[in-house]
Amino acid sequence: VTDSFQVGAAIERAGTLPASFYSDPRTHDRLRERVFARAWHLAPPAAIPEGRDCAQPHLLLPGVLDEPLLFTRDAEGRLRLLSNACTHRGALVVPAACSGRELRCPYHGRRFGLDGRFRAAPGFEGAQDFPRPADDLRSLPLEARGPLRFFALEPAQAFARWSAPLDARLGHLPLAALRFDPAGERSFEVQACWALYLENFLEGFHVPFVHPALSRALDLERYTVEVLDEAVLQTAEARPSEPAFEAPPGHPDAGRRVAAYYLWLFPNVMMNFYPWGLSVNVAEPRGPRSCAVRYHRFLWREDLLEQGAGAGLDQVESEDERVVESVQQGLRSRLWPGGRFSPRHEPGLHHFQRMLAAAAGGTDARPAAGAP
Ligand code: FES
Ligand SMILES: [Fe+2]
């Protein structure tokens, strides 16, 4: 097993990542630290407390990061994300959703505001240099785009830069008008590395082979792939009778009848915009060879829900799972020689593999957490 991975810059000549990339526990550990510990994450809508003066714990990436976090909402409705590890000895401050104007650790009674600020610690009379700022619960960056909430532990890049492809390229879509639809919540366990799930998402090449029903809604001759900074945008145009977006005059997509925008933001956020609204899915690693995929649905036009490219998504998901699990099995082969990229169809996949190779191999140029 190698410690460094190379995917050439020229797609016409580059070879794919080796099979070991998708099963090796050391690679998995490196990606955990270098990618997921530094990534922007999409909060599940159900993780966000709706009431006032309440708190709800959230475990980030169970089995992988296992970071105990806590969403709180105060009397004014302000949402915050805090560390849920008590600054005394580390107990979970809030083991289960609760309401109240302050947080009280069940272990030795230390108290915090809903903003994470230390308030009181019984038994600490006589302690010197106490409390310090580090006795507050850490508050984490939390950002919004429409109804979506994103957060990070130690983000590798500023949110504005990370979300720029969404803001710049799809700024004409009225995100603020999206409404969360709990009936669209889905979660799937996939017996494959999260990266294989993403690779499948990043090419439309397989659509006519794997998704016969979806193919009938799309004009695949006009399917485009744009490699952006740490993102890829795929745009599928509609067949004439199918519902479509119309972009405003002057927009790069003006004149196109867009059935779906498929936007991937590094590492694992997939935003699928359809005329009815947004289906966002996230592939979370569970282990080196398994992941969980969760779907959240937000609506603009419920009447269009089962039309066009955004119809039958459960069917499309099961078709995708089958091929992704098949790849995980095929990669166990001792005989697989390593693959190549289709220059026409797979520039998004190539971009993704180059980013992963850089993250998993060589030295990490980013400063360590907490370094100046
Ligand atoms: S661990 Fe929270 S008060 Fe002791
Ligand atoms: Fe697919």
HEC string of 352-363 equals: HHHHHHHHHCCC
> Quick one: pLDDT at residue 3?
72
Question: Which ligand does the CA of 204 lie closest to?
Answer: 2
The alpha carbon of 153 is separated from its chain's Cα centroid by a whole number of angstroms, namely: 14
**Nearest atom of ligand 1 to the alpha carbon of 109:** 3
If one residue of 103, 108, 118, 135 were mutated to test the ligand 1 pocket, choosing by the most ligand atoms within 8 A of its CB, it would be: 108
Instruction: Tell which atom from ligand 1 comes closest to the C-alpha of 89.
Output: 1
C-beta of 331 in contact with ligand 1 (< 6 A): no
Give the closest residue (by CA) to ligand 1 atom 3.
108
β-bridge pairing 269-274 and 148-152:
unpaired
Is 111 close to ligand 1, i.e. is its CB under 6 Å away? no
* Coil, strand or helix at 264: strand
pLDDT at 331: 97
pLDDT at position 362: 54
Q: Which ligand is nearest to the CA of 111?
A: 1
Ligand 2 mean position, distance from CA 84 (Å): 37
Task: Starting from the CA of residue 236, give the closest ligand.
Answer: 2
Atom of ligand 1 nearest to the CA of 93: 2
Q: Is the pTM of this model over 0.75?
A: yes
Q: Which of 239, 243, 198 is nearest to 222 (CA)?
A: 239
Q: What are the tokens at 234?
A: 């795929």
Residue holding tokens 């099995």? Answer: 329
Residue 128: partners with Cβ closer than 8 Å, 6 or more residues away: none
CB 331 within 8 A of CB 19: yes
Query: How many other CB atoms are found less than 10 A from the CB of residue 368?
Result: 8
Q: Kindly report the protein residue whose alpha carbon is nearest to atom 4 of ligand 1.
A: 108
Q: Which ligand is nearest to the CA of 318?
A: 2
From first to last of the 372 residues of the chain, give the pLDDT tens digit.
567 899 999 999 999 999 999 999 999 999 999 999 999 999 999 999 999 999 999 999 999 999 999 999 999 999 999 999 999 999 999 999 999 999 999 999 999 999 999 999 999 999 999 999 999 999 999 999 999 999 999 999 999 999 999 999 999 999 999 999 999 999 999 999 999 999 999 999 999 999 999 999 999 999 999 999 999 999 999 999 999 999 999 999 999 999 999 999 999 999 999 999 999 999 999 999 999 999 999 999 999 999 999 999 999 999 999 999 999 999 999 999 999 999 999 999 999 999 999 999 854 444 444 333
Pocket test for ligand 1, best of 92, 102, 107 (most atoms within 8 A of CB): 107
CA of 86, closest atom in ligand 1: 2
Q: How far apart are alpha carbons 124 and 260 in whole angstroms?
A: 58
| 135 close to ligand 1 (CB < 6 Angstrom) | no
